[in-house]
């Protein structure tokens, strides 16, 4: 599809149809046959397993098996530093560096199942550590580097981390103040990013330890059910939970990378997520490597021009990003995007929040390519629902379930759950239990874990509906849905309608208690530059929404905010908008992005 004026885009609003050539060239092929022919057992067969039948280890599948084969010299990871410096790692190099790290951890006495927390920006050592920890039998627990001491302490205590990998500067700023509250922490591996001695209890110099270690390492036998990853959720709805994943998850990382992100061996793939969140690990580390592609890592923070430059200069072919980033780029204007020639870019995907149809279509305006939304959670470990490269996109829909994934729309009942078979009826989104990357527990919260399952389903806490053709449509989180005068209103629908207004950059919608209607819809809106937050615009937005949504669903009130409160992983925190509106306690703010 070529870039076009917005007039042309509107013609494709209902559905973005794929050509036969696109279907054929995609890694999924035609959806129905691919789904019918899929088994997880066969998917497992796409991976090697550890030599000698010693089980399944994520890091072996990610790097060692490529290092031992024809992709040995293929570029696995290109790291771009904040100031533009570049470090390249072939599969062979990454295998050796991660071997050194695994060896160093083993020398320190790491035992199978020990949690190793990693607090670092997107530096090469983070990626080496992740793979080294997995090789050594540890559990990789990434922590977002912008967390303050409190959230670091809370997570490390829940995780009972014995080892921490971090940088000298992050240690001094974030860990030192809470060190006495971390009784389980024995070893700190410090990456030097400043001058000065490493005079910290239990400290070791990461660089020196790796330099002294062997480039060879034999991964000990790994049961597919051995714990591998501990990820904390985004904290959008409350206190973050620690979701535990096992090595078998790699089967899902691998096939979902191939099928939902359409990874082909020669792709240059860029996942913009930070490994502090599950996307940045499942698709920023594991899936691209198991698929043998070249993965781009940018240390820098979001900056539209920097990002366009990376897409162009690195010849990125597949780009996986998030709705907030897309909205920020939209805010900067289509003309800016169009200044960059991006002939290599062929597939755009997004996750993390509902992707407004406006954003899907903006991709066509700006890049000649639509964004493909997909849905999943920390708990699911990998993509579960997607708009595939081979499938017509319905803008605003999350797409259809991955092969091997059974989606149900269910209603909770006193005795369990009941499936809703009728199309277009809202209910809770559920997944049939048992896919490889399903989380195996919330750490130290067994009761909460068990409460997520009923009647063979994992209940996601999200509301959705499924249309006649099996496309799933996100309605809202169960906690965020608004009940107004007998209607159930999903905030996403209202936010998407507001986003269609040319002045609106972002919208967040809540239910505000009302004596008559139970709740009324209230919207918070951030404007694009050049628009004044005045009474005339407020009235115009109210009328615009009423015209699109009808009086029953449209917001009754609109407030302007310079920007909406978001988690550090980029999700609008509707619970905070609501708490502030109602003057209620603000709850856990450990993941709130500072303004
Ligand atoms: P917490 O569970 O701590 O409240 P969180 O649910 O935001 O935080 P994540 O696991 O990072 O933590 O996010 C998963 C959630 O993000 C999903 O349950 C869903 O609500 C939302 N989400 C992810 N992708 C999409 C999508 N494509 N469309 C709509 N919502 C999405
Ligand atoms: Mg959640």
Q: Please calculate the CA angle 170-174-176 and round it to the nearest 5 degrees.
A: 100
Q: Which residue range is the domain that position 442 belongs to? A: 406-478
Separation between Cα atoms, residue 249 and residue 74, nearest integer Å: 24
- Geometric angle at alpha carbon 567, from 561 and 568, rounded to 5°: 115
Starting from the CA of residue 567, give the closest ligand: 1
Q: In sequence order, what DSSP letters do the residues of 162-189 get, joined into one string? A: SEEEEEHHHIIIIIGGGGGG-TT--EEE
Ligand lying closest to the C-alpha of residue 320: 1
Judged against a pLDDT cut of 50, whether residue 9 lies above it is answered with no
pLDDT at 194 over 90: no
Contact by Cβ (8 Å): 28, 43? no
Q: How many angstroms does the Cα of residue 462 sit away from the middle of ligand 2? A: 8
Task: Please determine, for residue 49, whether its predicted confidence score (pLDDT) is greater than 90.
Answer: yes
Mean of pLDDT values over 322-343: 95
**CATH number, residue 430:** 2.30.38.10
Best substitution site from 234, 321, 442, 495 to test ligand 1's pocket, by max atoms within 8 Å of Cβ? 234
User: Predicted confidence band at 346 (pLDDT cuts at 50, 70, 90)?
Assistant: very high
Please tell me the distance between residue 332's alpha carbon and the centre of ligand 1 in angstroms: 25
In a domain, 426, yes or no: yes
Running DSSP on this structure, what letter comes out for residue 191?
E
Q: Is the pLDDT reported for residue 217 higher than 60?
A: yes
CB 75 within 8 A of CB 283: no
Average pLDDT over residues 157-161: 94
Q: Is residue 595 part of a domain?
A: no
Average pLDDT over residues 85-114: 98
The predicted structure's pLDDT at residue 190: 97
Q: What confidence category does residue 7 fall into, taking pLDDT thresholds of 50, 70 and 90?
A: very low
Distance 195 CA to ligand 1 centre (A): 40
Question: Is residue 276 in some structural domain?
Answer: no
Which atom of ligand 1 has the smallest separation from the CA of 243? Answer: 10
Looking at the structure, do residues 468 and 490 belong to the same domain, yes or no?
no
State whether 559 and 415 are in the same domain: no
Confidence of residue 219 (pLDDT cuts 50, 70, 90): very high
Looking at the structure, do residues 502 and 462 belong to the same domain, yes or no? no
Do 84 and 206 share a domain, yes or no? yes
Whether 497 and 471 share a structural domain: no
What is the average pLDDT value for the chain, to the nearest integer? Answer: 94
Residue 401 lies in a domain: no
The residues, any chain, with a CB within 8 Å of residue 256's CB and separated by 6 or more, are 287, 382, 383, 386, 402
Of the chain, the percentage scoring pLDDT greater than 70 comes to 98
Domain assignment present for residue 100? The answer is yes
Among 218, 245, 272, residue at a domain's last position? 245
The tally of domains found in the chain comes to 3
Who lines ligand 1 at CB under 6 A?
Answer: 233-238, 240-241, 351-355, 373-375, 377-378, 398, 460, 462, 474, 477, 569, 571
Ligand 1 centroid distance, CA of 573 (Å): 11
Quick one: pLDDT at residue 3?
Answer: 43
How many angstroms separate the alpha carbon of residue 377 from the centre of ligand 1? 5
| CATH code of the domain covering residue 498 | 3.30.300.30
Residue 78 to residue 86: CA distance in whole angstroms: 7
pLDDT at 571 over 50: yes
Quote the percentage of the chain above a pLDDT of 90: 88
CA distance 361 to 396: 10
Q: What angle do CA 13, 16, 19 make, to 5 degrees?
A: 150
C-alpha 376 – ligand 1 centre gap (Å) = 7
Residues 230, 159 contacting (CB under 8 angstroms): yes
Encoded tokens for 393: 């996109």
Whether residues 437 and 549 fall in one domain: no
Residue 2, pLDDT > 70, answer no
Residue range 240-289, pLDDT digits in tens: 899 999 999 999 999 999 999 999 999 999 999 999 999 999 999 999 99
Same structural domain, 145 and 233: yes
Average the pLDDT over 445-450 and give the result: 96
User: What was the pLDDT predicted at 411?
Assistant: 96
Q: Are residues 151 and 187 located together in one domain of the fold?
A: yes
Count CA within 13 A, CB hemisphere, residue 182: 27
Q: Which two tokens mark 260?
A: 């939902």
The pLDDT of 195-215, averaged and rounded, is 91
pLDDT confidence tier of residue 378, bands split at 50, 70 and 90: very high
Return the biggest CA–CA distance within the chain: 72
Domain shared by 177 and 91, yes or no? yes
Q: Are residues 495 and 548 located together in one domain of the fold?
A: yes
Residue 8 has pLDDT above 70, yes or no: no
Residue 545 lies in a domain: yes
Q: Whose CA is nearest to atom 16 of ligand 1?
A: 352
Q: Where among 195, 229, 245 does a domain terminate?
A: 245
Burial bucket for residue 235 (CB in 10 Å: 0-12, 13-18, 19+): buried
Dihedral in degrees, nearest 10, Cα atoms 406, 408, 412, 413: -90
Using pLDDT thresholds of 50, 70 and 90, give the confidence band for residue 11: very low
Q: For ligand 1, atom 29, name the residue with the nearest CA.
A: 354
387-440 pLDDT, tens digit each: 999 999 999 999 999 999 999 999 999 989 999 999 999 999 999 999 999 999
Mutational pocket test of ligand 1: of 376, 399, 451, the residue with most ligand atoms within 8 Å of the beta carbon: 376
Cα torsion at 55, 60, 64, 70 (round to 10°)? 80
Identify the CATH number of the domain in which residue 174 sits.
3.40.50.12780
Query: Do residue 450 and residue 517 come from a single domain?
Result: no
Q: Tell me the pLDDT tens digit for each residue of 288-321.
A: 999 999 999 999 999 999 999 999 999 999 999 9
For the cut 90, the answer to whether the pLDDT of residue 155 exceeds it is: yes
Whether 555 shows a pLDDT value over 80: the answer reads yes
Let me know if residue 117 belongs to a domain: yes
pLDDT of residue 13: 59
Residue nearest to atom 23 of ligand 1 (CA): 352
Q: Taking a C-beta distance cutoff of 8 angstroms, is the pair 250, 286 a contact?
A: yes
* Averaged pLDDT, 484-498: 89
- Burial of 514-542, coded b for 16+ CB within 10 Å and e otherwise, reads eeebebbbbbbbbbbeeeeeeeebeeebb
Q: What residues have CB less than 8 Å from 142, skipping those under 6 apart?
A: 117, 118, 126, 130, 231, 275, 276, 280, 281
Residue 382, helix vs strand vs coil = coil
Å from CA of 238 to ligand 2 middle: 9
Q: Is the pLDDT of residue 10 over 60?
A: no
Instruction: Flag whether 259 is in a domain.
Output: no
- How confident is the model at residue 595, as a pLDDT? 76
Residue where a domain terminates, one of 443, 478, 513 = 478
Confidence of residue 1 (pLDDT cuts 50, 70, 90): very low
pLDDT of 516 reads 86
> Do 233 and 114 reside in the same domain of the chain?
yes
């Amino acid at each position: 599809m070529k870039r076009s004026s917005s007039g042309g885009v509107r013609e494709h609003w209902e559905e973005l149809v794929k050509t036969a050539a696109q279907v054929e060239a995609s890694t999924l092929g035609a959806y129905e046959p691919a789904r019918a022919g899929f088994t997880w057992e066969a998917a497992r067969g796409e991976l090697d397993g550890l030599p000698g039948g010693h089980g399944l280890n994520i890091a072996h599948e990610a790097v060692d098996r490529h290092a031992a084969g024809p992709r040995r010299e293929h570029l696995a990871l290109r790291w771009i530093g904040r100031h533009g410096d570049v470090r390249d790692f072939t599969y062979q190099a990454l295998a050796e560096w991660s071997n050194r790290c695994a060896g160093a951890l083993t020398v320190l006495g790491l035992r199978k199942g020990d949690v190793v927390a990693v607090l670092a920006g997107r530096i090469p050592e983070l990626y080496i550590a992740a793979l080294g920890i997995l090789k050594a039998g540890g559990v990789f627990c990434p922590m977002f580097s912008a967390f303050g001491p409190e959230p670091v302490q809370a997570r490390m205590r829940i995780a009972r981390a014995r080892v921490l990998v971090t940088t000298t500067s992050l240690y001094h700023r974030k860990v030192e103040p809470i060190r006495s509250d971390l009784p389980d922490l024995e070893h700190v591996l410090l990456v030097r990013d400043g001058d000065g001695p490493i005079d910290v209890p239990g400290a070791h110099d990461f660089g020196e330890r790796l330099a002294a270690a062997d480039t060879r390492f034999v991964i000990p036998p790994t049961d597919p059910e051995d714990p591998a990853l501990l990820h904390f959720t985004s904290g959008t709805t409350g206190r973050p939970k620690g979701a535990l994943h096992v090595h078998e998850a790699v089967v899902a990382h691998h096939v979902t990378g191939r099928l939902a992100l359409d990874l082909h061996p020669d792709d240059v793939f860029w996942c913009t997520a930070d490994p502090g969140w599950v996307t940045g690990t499942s698709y920023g580390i594991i899936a691209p490597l198991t698929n043998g592609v070249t993965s781009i890592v940018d240390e820098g923070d979001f900056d539209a021009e920097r990002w366009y430059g990376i897409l162009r200069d690195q010849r990125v072919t597949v780009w996986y990003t998030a709705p907030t980033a897309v909205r920020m780029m939209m805010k900067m204007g289509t003309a800016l995007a169009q200044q960059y020639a991006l002939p290599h870019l062929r597939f755009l995907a997004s996750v993390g929040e509902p992707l407004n149809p406006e954003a899907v279509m903006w991709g066509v305006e700006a890049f000649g390519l639509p964004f493909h939304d997909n849905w999943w959670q920390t708990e699911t470990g990998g993509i579960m629902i997607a708009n595939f490269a081979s499938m017509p996109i319905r803008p605003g829909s999350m797409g259809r379930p991955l092969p091997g994934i059974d989606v149900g729309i269910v209603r909770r009942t006193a005795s369990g759950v009941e499936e809703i078979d009728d199309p277009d009826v809202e209910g809770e989104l559920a997944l049939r239990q048992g896919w490889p990357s399903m989380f195996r527990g919330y750490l130290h919260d067994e009761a909460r874990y068990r409460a997520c399952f009923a009647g063979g389903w994992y209940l996601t806490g999200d509301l959705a509906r499924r249309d006649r053709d099996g496309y799933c449509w996100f309605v809202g989180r169960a906690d965020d849905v608004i009940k107004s005068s007998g209607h159930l209103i999903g905030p996403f629908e209202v936010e998407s309608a507001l986003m269609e207004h040319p002045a609106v950059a972002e919208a967040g919608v809540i239910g505000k208690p009302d004596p008559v209607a139970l709740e009324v819809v209230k919207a918070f809106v951030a404007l694009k530059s050049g628009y004044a937050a005045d009474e005339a615009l407020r009235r115009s937005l109210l009328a615009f929404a009423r015209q699109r949504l009808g009086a029953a669903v449209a917001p009754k009130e609109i407030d302007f905010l310079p920007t909406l409160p978001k988690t550090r992983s980029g999700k609008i925190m509707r619970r905070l908008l609501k708490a502030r509106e109602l003057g209620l306690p603000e709850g856990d703010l450990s993941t709130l992005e500072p303004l």
